[in-house]
Amino acid sequence: LSDSSANVTLDISVLKILVSFLMTYGLADVNESVRNNARNASRDIVASNGASDEAIAFLLPHFESILSSGQADLSFLGALDKDKAPQDVTSSDRRKEGVVVALG
């Protein structure tokens, strides 16, 4: 999904869930390898699927919110367990860093 040569276009609902998952859990993970993969996937997904007006209307406010608060919007996670979303300062800092990378 994240390889731009794969030529996969994500439906906006899938894009919202996927990006929200990566921002909430992947970028905040304690394991550096998981964080790196989430950061790379986020960057590639934004690069390959972030050009439509609908994607921009979701991504920019979502990323701005993370940059200002360090917390991801949990409302897009659907049935995923929101109680397990890391809320500590280190996780917030990792999310902010990941958003900067995702934006390129």
Per-residue confidence (pLDDT) for residue 104, from 0 to 100: 85
Per-residue confidence (pLDDT) for residue 64, from 0 to 100: 96
- The string of pLDDT tens digits covering residues 10-52 is 899 999 999 999 999 999 999 999 999 999 999 999 999 999 9
Is the pLDDT confidence value at 8 over 80? no
Q: Would you tell me the crossing angle of helices 32-49 and 12-21 to the nearest 10 degrees? A: 160
